[in-house]
Chain A
Amino acid sequence: MTARMHFLISRLPLAIAAAITLSAPALGADKELTIYTYESFTAEWGPGPQVKAAFEKTCGCTVNYVSAADGVALLSRLKLEGAATKADIVLGLDTNLISEAKQTGLFEAHGIEAKDVSVPGDFKDDVFLPYDYGHFAVVYDTQTMKNPPQSLKELVEGDPNQKIAIEDPRTSTPGLGLLLWVKSVYGDKAPEAWGKLKNRVLTVTPGWSEAYGLFTKGEVPMVLSYVTSPAYHIDQEKTERYQAASFSEGHYIQIEVAGMTKGSHDKTLSRDFLRFMISPAFQDIIPTTNWMMPAAKMSKPLPAAFDKLVVPSKTFLMSADEVAANRKAWVEEWLNAMSLH
């Protein structure tokens, strides 16, 4: 505690300096909104540029992005910056990170009635609002896989010569997603399931990019990705080669959320942005830029590619608190099950 205090005090001059530089433009005609997010959101083909343009049309402000590598890095950066953070809005955490994010004490309740928001799994939170979601899925290559698994059970017990690339729950959110999915379906029997699935796992990659890279290079016929992944290939590459397997038990969901900070220098503007985020103007942008499902009403129907996607029969979602309380133990369980020979 003392060490932490010391750290905060030593950083105080910086915090003040930050406050001064930030408040200066706010006095002028042009307001500023600083959004912390992840890199693929702000990339030129991501939602970021369009979102910025659309919001700036109505807010009379300038939107600035600061991007981290991914959702986990985003939360780390916030923790490192503490109260000195420049962020007004933090966009890009997922439901598994919410509990830890709240513990930082940096966030403020949004106070917005989110009646237009509809995501599977009935997610509701007074601090974070969802802006999109996607179910995890095993995506397979139709050219090399004629009989894809129809259930998690079939995946676990299937032919060990047909391999899958998965992500590591110690370093990536999809990896954690699969861990929670297996846990939701198998409960206490999860270690046994992993013990069998292990034989089908070609390798465990540090992140989604590496696993998906192996998959598209043809090294593995299956990869852990999202139900929405095929939409990219259909829409952009005009190919239906890659498909998501529909699992009879249901699919685990990843919901991406945003919240406003206590330190935000213009809370009205921050709330305006959150309201904008769940309006059609924002939601229309999401499907073909972030390749996820919109979390609220759009002004037009979903693009055609999305009609061809698998619709999960059931949605699994554990509460953020349950995940936060058990993550370490479950990862350890996974490590043991995967490392035994």
Chain B
Amino acid sequence: MLTRGETIRAIAGGVSSLAGIALFAAAGVAALLATGLSQAASPLLDPYILGVLRFTLLQAVLSSALSVAVAVPLARAMARQPRFPGRIWILRLMGVPLGLPVIIGALGLIAVWGQHGWVNRLLVALGLDQPVSIYGLTGILLAHVFFNFPLATRLLLASLERLPGEYWLIASNLGMKPRTLFRLVEWPAMRSQIPAIAGLILMLAATSFTLVLLLGGGPAATTLEVAIYQALRFDFDPPRAVALALIQIGMTALILIVLQFFGGAASEGATLGRPPERPDGQTSAARLLDAGLILPATAFLLFPLAAVVIGGLQADLLRLIADPMLHRAVLTSLLIALPAGLLAVLLAYSISSARFALLSRKGQPMVFERMANLTSALASLILLVPPTVLGTGWFLIAGPANMDRLAPFLIAGINGLMAFPFVLRVIDPALTSHRERTLRLCASLGITGLNRWRQVDWPGLKTPLLTAFTFAAALSLGDLGVVALFGSDQLVTLPWLLYSRMGSYRTDDAAGLALILGLLCLFLMVLGTASRTPTERASP
């Protein structure tokens, strides 16, 4: 039970976070709209835009569905096999795509799947003469699954790992078959998270820009984000950019609302904190099946990353590492990414706390509950406001004279906002389950306020909070979009440096920097999993 004061504080905190996000977005958009009326003679919804809209949604829905379809069996396999060599490293590697600039990930994918990639070379060696071409919808889906299934898997795995250890004991006593166990225990736990995860991936895919153009094979594959960029940068028609962004937000919001009905609430089982010993995955059939899922998925994740490493090792790494430009860029990147991560965690924590406070009050009307659920989903729509739109709007508000001083704060702020929807997916289910399990006991023992935070909440939430923080920091670390808007000579981040070398023939340097950036992300992920208990780590 939360005390009355705690409930009010939690709700107030959540409401101010939501208001802050909404105001920040609205101010940016308003500043852009104030630049004047649209000069475009062509109507907004011409056949071109309608075609683009159709393609945007099609590829986004498919990307999201495929990523989740891969993640569900994989998360179950990982959960059933809590102990095998390298498991923790697979989990860590799964965080790396988050922090890779898309162009680097894409070049890694092309090294494996491209015209002259490893797969095609293998096929040719096997006697096939026609190479497999991924350019088109296939390539876009392949890339979106590569970037997003690791995230989905980690989130689903977390939902399985949160299940009370007692479940497995009872299931084993009852002699439940794996299929029954999946239907009664595992699937309900994962299903409650799927709308949120699928929604997140949908938004990421809908706003994809570089990947869609690069792997789409031609302008038939165009997302609204491309049209927005075109309107803002090439045609300089800010109102049109805003109108397109609003269409994007509206359409995706509709899909998110529909997804909400798929969910079904998770029921939180009481637990004495028994470690999740799972006897069910230890038969040879189960091991074989799980290995059959984990190995190919790991290979799919690992090969493009390996291509990035191989490319990086060909660079003159010693010279790069000794370069003071790199030291400055790493420092700048971290000084932006760490506060951005913190901001994302604070926003998600306060909104999640408020949602729990609202829902845990007895005798709540159903409508209220749905609304509370929807609010946090809608807050994530911030992800659909193109960073170019937000950034340009805030550039106008700040004014050129103040830009040099304000740019780092704006970049960290926008990065934090963009990472917040990810972080919410990590924190929200963990927080809800933690509160359900501990609040009653805390209330009866009279542990409240700071004491409860120190003795109960921090130990219980440390792992998800750290995971969330490192996810957000990695996202910000790999961000180029926002930085490119403000970037000046005083503000060079690692992706900016990388891109700038790529843009002036220095592809080897860029590959080397990509390796360094990838290692930084991996380091963050190691940090994020550092607080896992030995059973959670389950490394031998």
Please tell me if the beta carbons of A72 and B400 are within 8 angstroms of each other in the complex.
no
Please tell me if the beta carbons of A213 and B400 are within 8 angstroms of each other in the complex.
no
In angstroms, Cα B226 to Cα A171, docked, is 8
Any chain B CB within 8 A of the CB of A181?
no
Least Cβ–Cβ distance between A333 and chain B, in angstroms: 12
Q: Which residues of B contact A68 (CB under 8 A)?
A: 487
Which of B107-115, B411-419, B427-435 interfaces with chain A?
Answer: B107-115
Please tell me if the beta carbons of A85 and B234 are within 8 angstroms of each other in the complex.
no
Interface string of B423-458 (1 = CB under 8 A from A): 000000000000000000000000000000000000
Q: List 30 A-B contacts (CB under 8 A).
A: A7-B35, A11-B399, A14-B400, A17-B401, A39-B503, A65-B489, A67-B488, A68-B487, A73-B233, A73-B484, A76-B236, A76-B392, A85-B400, A171-B226, A198-B218, A203-B213, A203-B216, A203-B217, A203-B218, A204-B216, A205-B214, A212-B505, A216-B507, A218-B116, A219-B114, A219-B116, A232-B505, A291-B504, A338-B218, A339-B51
Residue of B with least CB distance to A69: B484
Q: Which residues of A contact B484 (CB under 8 A)?
A: 69, 73
Given A3-B37, A42-B489, CB of A206 within 8 Å of CB of B219: no
Closest 4 interchain pairs by CB? A18-B401, A14-B399, A339-B220, A4-B36
Q: Which residues of A contact B487 (CB under 8 A)?
A: 39, 67-69
In angstroms, Cα B157 to Cα A132, docked, is 57
Please tell me if the beta carbons of A80 and B216 are within 8 angstroms of each other in the complex.
no
Given A39-B500, A67-B489, A203-B135, CB of A163 within 8 Å of CB of B400: no
Any chain B CB within 8 A of the CB of A57?
no
Q: Which residues of B contact A335 (CB under 8 A)?
A: 48, 219
Chain B residues numbered 41-78 whose CB sits less than 8 Å from any CB in chain A: 48, 51
Chain A residues numbered 215-250 whose CB sits less than 8 Å from any CB in chain B: 216-220, 229, 232-233, 236
Least Cβ–Cβ distance between B211 and chain A, in angstroms: 10
Q: Which residues of B contact A204 (CB under 8 A)?
A: 213, 216-219
Any chain A CB within 8 A of the CB of B103?
yes
Any chain A CB within 8 A of the CB of B422?
no
Given A209-B103, A219-B114, CB of A203 within 8 Å of CB of B214: yes
In angstroms, Cα B316 to Cα A236, docked, is 14
Any chain A CB within 8 A of the CB of B357?
no
Please tell me if the beta carbons of B395 and A201 are within 8 angstroms of each other in the complex.
no
Any chain B CB within 8 A of the CB of A145?
no
Additional pairs, 20, CB under 8 Å, beyond known A3-B36, A21-B401, A229-B505: A3-B35, A7-B35, A7-B36, A14-B401, A17-B399, A18-B399, A46-B504, A72-B234, A76-B233, A80-B35, A81-B400, A84-B400, A84-B401, A163-B115, A170-B230, A203-B218, A217-B107, A217-B111, A218-B116, A339-B220
In angstroms, Cα B396 to Cα A219, docked, is 41
Interface string of A49-73 (1 = CB under 8 A from B): 0000000000000000111110011
Any chain B CB within 8 A of the CB of A40?
yes
Any chain B CB within 8 A of the CB of A266?
no
Please tell me if the beta carbons of A339 and B218 are within 8 angstroms of each other in the complex.
yes
Q: Which residues of A contact B203 (CB under 8 A)?
A: none
Q: Which residues of B contact A123 (CB under 8 A)?
A: none
Assign chain A's interface to a size class. 35 or more
Residue of A with least CB distance to B510: A213
Please tell me if the beta carbons of A210 and B219 are within 8 angstroms of each other in the complex.
no
In angstroms, Cα B422 to Cα A107, docked, is 45
In angstroms, Cα B22 to Cα A244, docked, is 51
B residues sitting closer than 8 Å to A (CB atoms) are 33-37, 48, 51, 103, 106-107, 110-111, 114-117, 135, 209-210, 213-220, 226, 229-230, 232-236, 325, 392, 395-396, 399-402, 484-485, 487-489, 499-500, 502-507, 510
Chain A residues numbered 60-99 whose CB sits less than 8 Å from any CB in chain B: 65-69, 72-73, 75-76, 79-81, 84-86
A residues sitting closer than 8 Å to B (CB atoms) are 1, 3-4, 6-7, 10-11, 14, 17-18, 21, 39-40, 42-46, 65-69, 72-73, 75-76, 79-81, 84-86, 100, 163, 168, 170-171, 198, 201-210, 212-214, 216-220, 229, 232-233, 236, 291, 328, 332, 334-335, 338-339, 341
Q: Which residues of B contact A44 (CB under 8 A)?
A: 325
Please tell me if the beta carbons of B396 and A213 are within 8 angstroms of each other in the complex.
no
In angstroms, Cα B222 to Cα A270, docked, is 42
Q: Which residues of B contact A229 (CB under 8 A)?
A: 505
Residue of B with least CB distance to A202: B135
Given A42-B489, A69-B484, A203-B215, CB of A217 within 8 Å of CB of B110: yes
Residue of A with least CB distance to B235: A328
Please tell me if the beta carbons of B502 and A213 are within 8 angstroms of each other in the complex.
yes
CB < 8 Å neighbour of B399 from A45, A75, A84, A168: A84
Residue of A with least CB distance to B502: A209
Least Cβ–Cβ distance between A32 and chain B, in angstroms: 14
Residue of A with least CB distance to B111: A217
Please tell me if the beta carbons of B505 and A291 are within 8 angstroms of each other in the complex.
yes
Q: Which residues of A contact B485 (CB under 8 A)?
A: 69, 73
Q: Which residues of B contact A40 (CB under 8 A)?
A: 500, 503-504
Please tell me if the beta carbons of B209 and A206 are within 8 angstroms of each other in the complex.
yes
